[in-house]
Copies of this chain bind each other. A is one copy, B any other.
Protein backbone atom coordinates (compact mmCIF):
# COMPACT_ATOMS: atom_id res chain seq x y z
CA UNK A 1 0.00 0.00 0.00
CA UNK A 2 3.03 2.21 0.38
CA UNK A 3 3.02 5.06 -2.14
CA UNK A 4 -0.56 4.42 -3.11
CA UNK A 5 -2.93 7.37 -3.43
CA UNK A 6 -6.51 7.12 -2.28
CA UNK A 7 -9.34 9.60 -2.65
CA UNK A 8 -12.35 9.26 -0.35
CA UNK A 9 -15.51 11.29 -1.03
CA UNK A 10 -17.96 11.51 1.88
CA UNK A 11 -21.40 13.07 1.52
CA UNK A 12 -21.60 14.15 5.15
CA UNK A 13 -19.20 14.76 8.01
CA UNK A 14 -19.15 11.28 9.50
CA UNK A 15 -19.83 8.92 6.58
CA UNK A 16 -16.19 8.19 5.79
CA UNK A 17 -15.54 7.16 9.41
CA UNK A 18 -18.42 4.70 9.82
CA UNK A 19 -17.92 3.11 6.46
CA UNK A 20 -14.19 3.18 5.72
CA UNK A 21 -12.38 4.38 8.85
CA UNK A 22 -10.49 1.14 9.34
CA UNK A 23 -9.34 0.95 5.75
CA UNK A 24 -8.21 4.58 5.81
CA UNK A 25 -6.23 4.10 9.03
CA UNK A 26 -4.60 0.96 7.67
CA UNK A 27 -3.56 2.62 4.41
CA UNK A 28 -2.10 5.58 6.26
CA UNK A 29 -0.13 3.34 8.60
CA UNK A 30 1.42 1.63 5.63
CA UNK A 31 2.57 4.91 4.14
CA UNK A 32 -0.19 5.60 1.62
CA UNK A 33 -1.50 9.09 0.93
CA UNK A 34 -5.23 9.39 1.69
CA UNK A 35 -7.23 12.47 0.75
CA UNK A 36 -10.74 12.82 2.22
CA UNK A 37 -13.32 15.22 0.79
CA UNK A 38 -16.30 15.98 3.04
CA UNK A 39 -18.93 17.48 0.75
CA UNK A 40 -21.30 18.79 3.42
CA UNK A 41 -21.23 19.14 7.19
CA UNK A 42 -24.32 16.97 7.42
CA UNK A 43 -26.31 19.68 9.16
CA UNK A 44 -29.60 18.52 7.75
CA UNK A 45 -29.02 14.88 6.97
CA UNK A 46 -27.23 13.38 9.93
CA UNK A 47 -27.64 15.71 12.90
CA UNK A 48 -31.09 14.89 14.28
CA UNK A 49 -29.67 14.50 17.76
CA UNK A 50 -27.91 17.87 17.73
CA UNK A 51 -31.08 19.69 16.71
CA UNK A 52 -32.72 18.47 19.89
CA UNK A 53 -30.51 20.85 21.87
CA UNK A 54 -32.13 24.11 22.72
CA UNK A 55 -31.27 27.07 20.49
CA UNK A 56 -29.56 24.89 17.94
CA UNK A 57 -28.64 26.77 14.75
CA UNK A 58 -27.34 25.58 11.42
CA UNK A 59 -24.01 27.30 12.05
CA UNK A 60 -23.69 25.78 15.49
CA UNK A 61 -24.52 22.30 14.28
CA UNK A 62 -22.06 22.65 11.42
CA UNK A 63 -19.28 23.71 13.77
CA UNK A 64 -19.89 20.73 16.05
CA UNK A 65 -19.94 18.28 13.14
CA UNK A 66 -16.73 19.64 11.64
CA UNK A 67 -15.03 19.53 14.97
CA UNK A 68 -16.02 15.93 15.59
CA UNK A 69 -14.97 15.00 12.10
CA UNK A 70 -11.56 16.65 12.53
CA UNK A 71 -10.93 14.76 15.75
CA UNK A 72 -11.91 11.49 14.15
CA UNK A 73 -9.66 12.20 11.17
CA UNK A 74 -6.73 12.88 13.44
CA UNK A 75 -7.18 9.54 15.16
CA UNK A 76 -7.28 7.79 11.79
CA UNK A 77 -3.98 9.47 10.93
CA UNK A 78 -5.24 11.98 8.38
CA UNK A 79 -3.23 15.22 8.27
CA UNK A 80 -6.00 17.28 6.67
CA UNK A 81 -9.67 17.14 5.79
CA UNK A 82 -11.06 18.82 2.71
CA UNK A 83 -14.42 20.37 3.75
CA UNK A 84 -16.45 21.63 0.80
CA UNK A 85 -19.25 23.04 2.95
CA UNK A 86 -22.12 22.22 0.58
CA UNK A 87 -25.72 22.24 1.77
CA UNK A 88 -27.10 18.75 2.25
CA UNK A 89 -30.56 17.16 2.06
CA UNK A 90 -30.43 17.44 -0.82
CA UNK A 91 -26.89 17.78 -2.10
CA UNK A 92 -27.02 19.51 -5.49
CA UNK A 93 -24.05 19.37 -7.83
CA UNK A 94 -23.45 22.03 -10.49
CA UNK A 95 -20.72 22.85 -12.97
CA UNK A 96 -18.55 24.40 -10.28
CA UNK A 97 -18.43 21.29 -8.13
CA UNK A 98 -17.89 19.19 -11.23
CA UNK A 99 -14.88 21.22 -12.34
CA UNK A 100 -13.48 21.20 -8.81
CA UNK A 101 -13.69 17.43 -8.54
CA UNK A 102 -12.23 16.80 -12.00
CA UNK A 103 -9.29 19.06 -11.15
CA UNK A 104 -8.82 17.35 -7.81
CA UNK A 105 -8.72 13.91 -9.43
CA UNK A 106 -6.27 15.17 -12.06
CA UNK A 107 -4.04 16.61 -9.33
CA UNK A 108 -4.11 13.67 -6.94
CA UNK A 109 -4.15 10.97 -9.61
CA UNK A 110 -5.46 8.37 -7.16
CA UNK A 111 -5.18 4.62 -7.72
CA UNK A 112 -8.40 4.14 -5.84
CA UNK A 113 -11.51 6.24 -5.25
CA UNK A 114 -13.94 5.31 -2.47
CA UNK A 115 -17.35 6.88 -2.19
CA UNK A 116 -20.97 5.95 -1.55
CA UNK A 117 -22.48 3.02 -3.40
CA UNK A 118 -24.93 3.55 -6.24
CA UNK A 119 -28.09 3.18 -4.14
CA UNK A 120 -29.08 3.94 -0.56
CA UNK A 121 -32.82 3.56 -0.18
CA UNK A 122 -32.83 5.81 2.90
CA UNK A 123 -30.52 8.62 1.77
CA UNK A 124 -30.69 10.43 -1.56
CA UNK A 125 -27.47 12.35 -0.88
CA UNK A 126 -25.51 9.11 -0.96
CA UNK A 127 -26.94 8.23 -4.36
CA UNK A 128 -26.27 11.67 -5.77
CA UNK A 129 -22.71 11.60 -4.48
CA UNK A 130 -22.09 8.28 -6.20
CA UNK A 131 -23.33 9.58 -9.53
CA UNK A 132 -21.34 12.79 -9.15
CA UNK A 133 -18.06 11.06 -8.32
CA UNK A 134 -18.50 8.44 -11.03
CA UNK A 135 -19.17 11.06 -13.70
CA UNK A 136 -16.22 13.20 -12.59
CA UNK A 137 -13.91 10.18 -12.66
CA UNK A 138 -14.92 9.51 -16.26
CA UNK A 139 -14.40 13.15 -17.21
CA UNK A 140 -11.01 13.23 -15.52
CA UNK A 141 -9.96 10.41 -17.87
CA UNK A 142 -11.03 12.24 -20.94
CA UNK A 143 -8.83 14.66 -22.84
CA UNK A 144 -10.61 17.83 -23.85
CA UNK A 145 -12.43 18.25 -20.55
CA UNK A 146 -11.16 21.16 -18.48
CA UNK A 147 -7.53 20.39 -19.14
CA UNK A 148 -5.84 23.59 -17.97
CA UNK A 149 -2.40 22.12 -17.92
CA UNK A 150 -3.40 19.06 -15.93
CA UNK A 151 -2.97 15.92 -17.93
CA UNK A 152 -5.66 13.34 -18.25
CA UNK A 153 -5.82 10.35 -15.88
CA UNK A 154 -6.56 6.73 -16.63
CA UNK A 155 -9.48 4.71 -15.27
CA UNK A 156 -9.10 4.33 -11.51
CA UNK A 157 -10.64 1.65 -9.29
CA UNK A 158 -13.95 2.79 -7.85
CA UNK A 159 -15.29 1.30 -4.60
CA UNK A 160 -18.61 1.88 -2.83
CA UNK A 161 -19.37 2.23 0.89
CA UNK A 162 -21.94 0.02 2.55
CA UNK A 163 -25.28 1.83 2.95
CA UNK A 164 -26.91 1.64 6.38
CA UNK A 165 -29.48 -1.01 5.45
CA UNK A 166 -27.69 -3.06 2.85
CA UNK A 167 -30.09 -5.64 1.47
CA UNK A 168 -32.99 -3.31 0.80
CA UNK A 169 -30.58 -0.95 -0.98
CA UNK A 170 -29.40 -3.74 -3.28
CA UNK A 171 -25.85 -3.51 -1.92
CA UNK A 172 -23.54 -6.45 -2.68
CA UNK A 173 -20.14 -6.69 -0.95
CA UNK A 174 -17.49 -7.42 -3.56
CA UNK A 175 -14.35 -6.96 -1.48
CA UNK A 176 -13.65 -7.33 2.22
CA UNK A 177 -10.66 -5.42 3.59
CA UNK A 178 -9.15 -6.92 6.74
CA UNK A 179 -9.01 -4.04 9.25
CA UNK A 180 -8.01 -6.05 12.30
CA UNK A 181 -4.78 -4.11 12.81
CA UNK A 182 -6.56 -0.75 12.48
CA UNK A 183 -9.75 -1.57 14.33
CA UNK A 184 -8.83 0.18 17.56
CA UNK A 185 -8.29 3.43 15.69
CA UNK A 186 -11.61 3.08 13.92
CA UNK A 187 -13.40 2.42 17.21
CA UNK A 188 -11.86 5.50 18.82
CA UNK A 189 -12.56 7.64 15.78
CA UNK A 190 -16.23 6.65 15.81
CA UNK A 191 -16.50 7.63 19.45
CA UNK A 192 -15.83 11.25 18.48
CA UNK A 193 -19.42 11.46 17.24
CA UNK A 194 -20.78 11.56 20.75
CA UNK A 195 -24.37 12.35 19.86
CA UNK A 196 -24.74 9.19 17.78
CA UNK A 197 -24.20 6.47 20.37
CA UNK A 198 -26.43 3.95 18.60
CA UNK A 199 -24.37 4.25 15.41
CA UNK A 200 -21.10 3.70 17.24
CA UNK A 201 -22.36 0.39 18.55
CA UNK A 202 -23.96 -0.43 15.21
CA UNK A 203 -20.73 -0.03 13.23
CA UNK A 204 -18.64 -1.87 15.84
CA UNK A 205 -20.95 -4.84 15.42
CA UNK A 206 -20.81 -4.46 11.68
CA UNK A 207 -17.00 -4.62 11.71
CA UNK A 208 -17.30 -7.81 13.69
CA UNK A 209 -19.93 -9.26 11.32
CA UNK A 210 -17.82 -8.49 8.28
CA UNK A 211 -14.83 -10.05 10.05
CA UNK A 212 -16.85 -13.23 10.46
CA UNK A 213 -17.76 -13.21 6.75
CA UNK A 214 -14.18 -12.58 5.68
CA UNK A 215 -12.88 -15.42 7.87
CA UNK A 216 -15.43 -17.84 6.45
CA UNK A 217 -14.71 -16.91 2.84
CA UNK A 218 -10.92 -16.89 3.13
CA UNK A 219 -10.21 -19.45 5.83
CA UNK A 220 -7.92 -16.84 7.40
CA UNK A 221 -8.70 -17.08 11.10
CA UNK A 222 -6.57 -14.03 11.94
CA UNK A 223 -9.20 -11.69 10.56
CA UNK A 224 -11.30 -10.32 13.41
CA UNK A 225 -12.68 -7.15 11.83
CA UNK A 226 -13.34 -6.14 8.26
CA UNK A 227 -15.00 -3.49 6.12
CA UNK A 228 -16.77 -4.40 2.91
CA UNK A 229 -17.12 -2.41 -0.30
CA UNK A 230 -18.82 -2.75 -3.65
CA UNK A 231 -16.68 -2.50 -6.78
CA UNK A 232 -17.86 -0.53 -9.81
CA UNK A 233 -15.69 -2.32 -12.38
CA UNK A 234 -14.20 -5.81 -12.69
CA UNK A 235 -10.74 -6.61 -11.34
CA UNK A 236 -7.89 -6.71 -13.87
CA UNK A 237 -5.04 -8.87 -12.62
CA UNK A 238 -2.06 -11.02 -13.46
CA UNK A 239 -3.44 -13.91 -11.42
CA UNK A 240 -6.56 -14.83 -9.45
CA UNK A 241 -7.25 -12.74 -6.35
Contact residues of A with B, CB < 8 Å? Answer: 1, 4, 26-27, 30, 43-45, 47-48, 50-52, 58, 61, 89-90, 98, 111-112, 121-124, 134-135, 138-139, 142-145, 147, 152, 154-155, 157, 159, 164-168, 171-178, 198, 201-202, 205-206, 208-209, 212-214, 216-220, 223, 226, 228-229, 232-241
Contacts and interface: CB of A to CB of B under 8 A. Distances in A.
Contacts of A235: 174-176, 235, 241
B202 A155 contact: no
Contacts of A157: 240
A20 to B, nearest CB: 11
B174 A234 contact: yes
Contacts of A219: 154-155
A237 B205 contact: no
A209 B212 contact: no
A225 B165 CA distance: 15
Contacts of A214: 236
